Chain A
């Protein structure tokens, strides 16, 4: 099983700031089959990034994904008020698919 470790656990930031969230895998995620999701309280998750760096339909270009192998990142270039949420990475290359434990982005 591929274990995904996200850091930091919580990020306190101000609107307008740039943030980078990390997702590290316990082994190589081949074909860069890694996704990022955003979840707000009481809502289902929303796909932001797939295949490590491709933005999902309708996702603003302030969200970008990067990385390969075992190290991946999600960058939000300028935080908007609606971006405060929990972010999860997921690998879907091998079964069992796995999620990271999440990074909460909160208002400073």
Chain B
């Protein structure tokens, strides 16, 4: 069974930084695009960022462009989201998500359980 285990969430002050990691297992990691999706408390889903299977192409929501960086280490089956200049509106549960295809334009067939990021002073 596909496993996606997020870590790195926590409480951070506005303007601070945080690095989220997602350890993937039980599938061929370098064959699939990966994404981050977040959900603010009591709100809907918001797509944040995606990365192609090779890591060569990345995509971002306008709300995080220039502040967040997605990357992957295919040798360690790990997805990363580096977050800078965090704002209160970035407070959310962040889900690591696996695409069902090689390309980044693919539906999400597996989700992690999420890690909570709280931006507050």
Contacts and interface: CB of A to CB of B under 8 A. Distances in A.
B45 to A, nearest CB: 4
The bracket for how many chain B residues form the interface is 20 to 34
Interface in B24-67: 35, 37, 44-47, 50, 59-62
Contacts, number: 65
27 contacts: A35-B107, A35-B108, A39-B45, A44-B95, A44-B113, A44-B114, A45-B45, A47-B108, A50-B100, A56-B109, A86-B44, A88-B44, A88-B45, A90-B45, A90-B47, A92-B105, A92-B107, A96-B47, A96-B59, A96-B60, A97-B47, A97-B59, A97-B105, A98-B47, A99-B44, A99-B46, A101-B44
Report whether over half of chain A's contact residues are helix, strand or loop; otherwise say mixed: loop
Contact of B62 (A35, A86, A96): A96
Contacts of A95: 50, 59, 104-105
Interface of B: 35, 37, 44-47, 50, 59-62, 95, 100, 104-109, 111-114
Contacts of A17: none
